């Protein structure tokens, strides 16, 4: 293993950009972070300034490297991970964006997606891309820019404009136009990429009226993408790892084998399971997507999203004002033995996978005169685990096998009560790593493998410092609690008959 060589991971997120320097052991040696502006031109529209994104990335990278006082050549490689589905369209000659980045959260093209579904395109798009038709993904965002920015469509047809997710734009800028590429994971989130042929799909490009010449080359997540410009770090540094944030976290959690899975406990929850070389077709409303792989052979994953995870704790703090800090919820939840049959279903913006009910709304069931603040807090925490368990069961049903363990990360994973209840209600051992920066670590692993800093055999070994939460709940108790949760979810769902919800 190469000694005294470092990997610079650039983690470009939805609200901030971070840079983390990892050493040859995978330990964090330096980090820097900067937030940037969120732009809301209209209700439901979300944008970022691409120039500000790039400036923030260069700034935090320079800060993180400077803190270590590294010599030229000490950075062996760069890994990039990024907010997925967000797009940038820019001038090929000048590098200047022709419009703000349209963010994955933006709903401006929902009506377009409704028309596509009404026209019968859902099955074709899912068969090719593994994705449902939704404004979440990139295709309709790019089509909107071509349709609404003056001259964009004709300029695109003439080959004057380029399109990419954030990783593509960053690599183009960092290399002074020398790299125009993306990786399998980011391409698989565009609704333009055929995850089976591993190429941009001509039928989809025609459907969305997008010229192929706008699109970047698509490469495996681990390998040489190109080199930065020499004036960025004083020398040309190879970029050798790229992955969308959730796939990078899956890789950072060392979920290299089929059947291994991770869940990120953030504002929402993102659960991904590696399905190896098989693109499993979900019968339960999950997404089939490409996973990051340490080789040039593609791996696939099933993905399920929970809309409200840690956000339910923010609700307790900011709206109900029954707690002061998120950290105190663990102590409060442990102060009572159960919830007295109370359930909180935090469907504030509908229910995500596997229910997919946009019209469901938050519900509290089982209230009695004996219900206290402590029961409410415990029920809110338990609701996160119940929702994750719903996705776990859907995934296990799709692939016909049970998880060996569930790796966890994200802010709420620090709550030991929540992790234990997740293990209990899902009957799966939960593992929390010592380094919870799984997204950046995944990008570093991908880059370091390609650069010879890390070895896949060593990464495949169980790392030190893992905290395990083994299931300890009786099956009878688990079945009773899940049955009560299912009944509460049924009450939260939309009732088209008009008889109540």
**d(C-alpha 401, C-alpha 423), whole Å:** 17
Q: Which CA distances in Å does 382 have to 79, 301, 378, 396?
A: 36, 26, 6, 21
Q: Which CA distances in Å does 50 have to 36, 227, 481?
A: 10, 21, 47
**d(C-alpha 348, C-alpha 359), whole Å:** 9
Please give the chain's pLDDT, 501 residues, in tens: 345 589 999 999 888 899 999 998 888 999 999 988 888 888 878 899 999 999 999 999 989 988 888 777 788 999 999 998 899 999 999 999 999 999 887 888 888 988 999 999 999 999 999 998 888 889 999 999 999 999 999 999 999 999 999 999 999 999 999 999 999 999 999 999 999 999 999 999 999 999 999 999 999 999 999 999 887 666 789 999 999 999 999 999 999 988 899 999 988 899 999 999 989 888 888 999 999 988 888 899 999 988 888 889 989 998 899 999 999 999 999 999 999 999 999 988 788 888 878 778 899 999 999 999 999 999 999 999 999 999 999 999 888 878 889 999 988 899 999 999 999 999 999 999 987 788 999 999 999 999 999 988 888 877 778 899 999 999 999 999 999 999 999 999 866 555 445
> 409: which strand partners?
264
**d(C-alpha 331, C-alpha 324), whole Å:** 13
Predicted model pTM: 0.87
Per the document, the length of the chain is 501
Both tokens assigned to 285: 């409303």
Both tokens assigned to 337: 């033995």
Q: Which CA distances in Å does 365 have to 49, 356, 380?
A: 43, 21, 12
DSSP symbols for 291-349: EP-SSSS-EEEEEEEES-STHHHHHHHHTS---S-GGGHHHHHHTSSS-TT-EEE--BT
Both tokens assigned to 29: 């040696």
The helix or strand, by DSSP H or E, that contains position 55, with its residue range, turns out to be helix 50-68
Of the CA atoms within 13 Å of residue 298, those in its CB half-sphere come to 21
> 243: which strand partners?
81
Q: Which of 403, 66, 400, 388 is nearest to 257 (CA)?
A: 403
Q: Are 306 and 268 in contact (CB under 8 A)?
A: yes
Q: Are 228 and 8 in contact (CB under 8 A)?
A: no
**d(C-alpha 452, C-alpha 435), whole Å:** 21
What pLDDT is attached to residue 4?
58
DSSP symbols for 120-179: T-HHHHHHHHS--S-TTSSHHHHHHHHHHSTTHHHHHHTT-EEEEEHHHHHHHHHTTT--
């Amino acid at each position: 293993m190469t000694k005294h060589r470092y990997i610079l991971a650039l983690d470009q997120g939805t609200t901030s950009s971070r840079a983390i320097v990892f050493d040859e052991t995978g330990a964090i040696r330096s980090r820097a972070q900067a937030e940037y502006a969120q732009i809301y031109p209209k209700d439901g529209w979300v944008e970022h300034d691409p120039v500000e994104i790039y400036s923030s990335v260069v700034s935090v990278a320079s800060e993180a490297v400077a803190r270590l006082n590294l010599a030229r050549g000490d950075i062996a490689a760069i890994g990039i991970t990024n907010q997925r589905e967000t797009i940038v369209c820019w001038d090929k000659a000048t590098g200047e964006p022709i419009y703000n980045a349209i963010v994955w959260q933006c709903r401006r093209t929902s009506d377009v997606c409704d028309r596509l579904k009404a026209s019968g395109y859902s099955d074709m798009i899912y068969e090719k891309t593994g994705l449902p038709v939704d404004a979440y993904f990139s295709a309709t965002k790019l089509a909107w820019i071509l349709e609404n920015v003056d001259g964009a469509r004709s300029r695109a047809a003439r080959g004057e404009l380029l399109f990419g997710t954030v990783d593509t734009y960053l690599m183009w800028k960092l290399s002074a136009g020398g790299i125009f590429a993306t990786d399998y994971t980011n391409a698989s989130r565009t609704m333009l990429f055929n995850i089976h042929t591993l190429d941009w799909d001509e039928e989809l490009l025609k459907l969305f009226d997008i010229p192929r010449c706008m699109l970047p080359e698509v490469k495996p997540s681990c390998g040489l993408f190109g080199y930065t410009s020499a004036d960025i770090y004083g020398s040309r540094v190879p970029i050798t790892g790229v992955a969308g944030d959730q796939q990078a976290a899956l890789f950072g959690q060392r979920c290299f084998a089929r059947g291994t899975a991770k869940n990120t406990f953030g504002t929402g929850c993102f659960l991904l399971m590696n399905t190896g070389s098989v693109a499993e077709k979900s019968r339960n409303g999950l997404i089939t997507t490409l996973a990051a792989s340490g080789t040039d052979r593609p791996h696939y994953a099933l993905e399920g999203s929970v809309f409200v995870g840690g956000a339910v704790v923010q609700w307790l703090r900011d709206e109900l004002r029954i707690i002061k800090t998120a950290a105190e919820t663990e102590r409060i939840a442990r102060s009572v033995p159960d919830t007295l049959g109370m359930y909180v279903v935090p469907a504030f913006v509908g229910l995500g996978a596997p229910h997919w009910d946009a019209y469901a709304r938050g519900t509290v069931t089982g209230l009695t005169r004996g219900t206290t603040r402590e029961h409410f807090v415990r029920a809110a925490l338990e609701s996160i685990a119940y929702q994750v368990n719903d996705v776990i069961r859907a995934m296990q049903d799709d692939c016909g096998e049970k998880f060996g363990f569930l790796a966890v990360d994200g802010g709420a994973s620090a709550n030991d009560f929540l992790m234990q209840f997740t293990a209990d209600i899902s009957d799966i051992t939960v593992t929390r790593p010592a380094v919870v920066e799984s997204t950046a670590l995944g990008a570093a692993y991908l880059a370091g493998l390609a650069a010879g800093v890390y070895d896949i055999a060593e990464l495949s070994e169980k790392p030190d410092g893992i905290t395990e939460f083994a299931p300890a709940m009786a099956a009878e108790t688990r079945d009773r609690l899940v049955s009560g949760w299912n009944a509460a979810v049924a009450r939260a769902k939309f009732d088209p008959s008009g008889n109540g919800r």
